[in-house]
Amino acid sequence: MTFFMNIESDFWTLVFVSIIFAITLFWLFALMLRLQSQLKIRKFSKGRLQPTKIQIKEHSIAYTDIGKGQPILLIHGLGASQYSWRLLAPILAQKYRVIAIDLPGFGYSSKSYQENWNLDKYSDVINSVLRKLQVSTPHIVGSSLGGLIALKMIERWPEQFRKVAAISPPLSKRLIPFSLSRLQVLWPVAGRMITTQFVRELMKRTVEDKSLINEESIGYYSRAFVDEPESFKSFIQATEAIRTGDNPNFIKNISSPVLFLWGAKDRVVPIRLLDKARQMSPESQYFVHEKAGHHMMEDQPEWVASRIQCFFES
């Protein structure tokens, strides 16, 4: 009996040691990938200009301000940054003053993962940025989550904004079926898996023009996640803004027409949600580009600029 007990004890010891060994190898592999990503990003970022920052209470908000004329505010989407407007902003800046921001928790803005972010909180911070920059009655263009925030802002303060254009806004709580914040125990592991290669694969779902997936774009979109560990936590908390609150029913309260733009090849926010927007805002304008993906401002910047300018000037 003692003999068999010793065998069983040795077996479970071997299993335990094997598990520890496998976990150690996994962490070493993840660390190697992360260090490799950091080296690539630092090599790319060397000498690059940093965006201007403005302090709003405890938040440090990064922004870029170019052009002259009527102001347009650009709000990026979930997991992105103001970099996603790099192709559209210069076109708009030929006729407008263009302000592109990094939302709290993204890009070069401070990371505030401890807050339970929702559409109201995001819009409050953005409104404070506009007041501090002395920007009055701007137009707003938002992509994805940024489009949802733009819609919330004009619903809350219709007298403060001219017109809103929303690019593929996530008009369904079902896009985030459960609270990812409940999986906090997995955050350290999942966060370390975000490398430049991981971002490359994500970009394949957001843009249709694959020439946009290059060292520069991967470097910019990866930087915050690789260099700042809190970025992944901020990303998870931001998903609550889509999953909670009155999304999308509040759109019925918007009194002025909105411009909705969608890419027919959007693989992040399906085009079927455009029908939901039409039902809730029948007086708005709707356009679909047959060759564009989720980030149509990257895929088709000239087409997007043309639609926006026509709508804002009508």
Tens place of pLDDT per residue across the chain (314 aa): 554 444 444 544 554 545 554 444 444 444 444 444 444 444 444 434 458 999 998 999 999 999 999 999 999 999 999 999 999 999 999 999 999 999 999 999 998 656 678 999 999 999 999 999 999 999 999 999 999 999 999 999 999 999 999 999 999 999 988 777 666 656 566 666 778 888 999 999 999 999 999 998 998 998 888 888 778 888 888 998 998 888 899 999 999 999 999 999 999 999 999 999 999 999 999 999 999 999 999 999 999 999 999 999 98
> Mind listing the domains of the chain with CATH numbers?
52-313 (3.40.50.1820)
Query: Could you read off the pLDDT of 53-79 as tens digits, one per residue?
Result: 999 989 999 999 999 999 999 999 999
The full 3-state SS of 44-106, as one line of letters, equals HHCCCCCCEEEEECCEEEEEEEECCCCEEEEECCCCCCHHHHCCCHHHHCCCCEEEEECCCCC
> Which phi and psi angles does 71 have, rounded to 5°?
-80, 145
Which of 133, 152, 141 is CA-nearest to residue 241?
Answer: 152
* Cα–Cα distance list, 196 to 51, 141, 187 (Å): 22, 28, 18
What integer pLDDT is reported at residue 283 of this predicted model? 93
- The half-sphere exposure of 52 on its side-chain side, counting CA atoms within 13 A, is 9
Taking the C-alpha atoms of residue 149 and residue 169, their distance in angstroms, rounded to an integer, is 9
Query: Could you read off the pLDDT of 202-233 as tens digits, one per residue?
Result: 999 999 999 999 998 998 998 888 888 778 88
What integer pLDDT is reported at residue 186 of this predicted model? 63
Cβ contacts of 100 within 8 Å, gap of 6 or more: 63, 64, 73, 74, 76, 82, 85, 89
Taking the C-alpha atoms of residue 111 and residue 129, their distance in angstroms, rounded to an integer, is 16
Stated as kind and residue range, the H or E segment containing 169 is: none
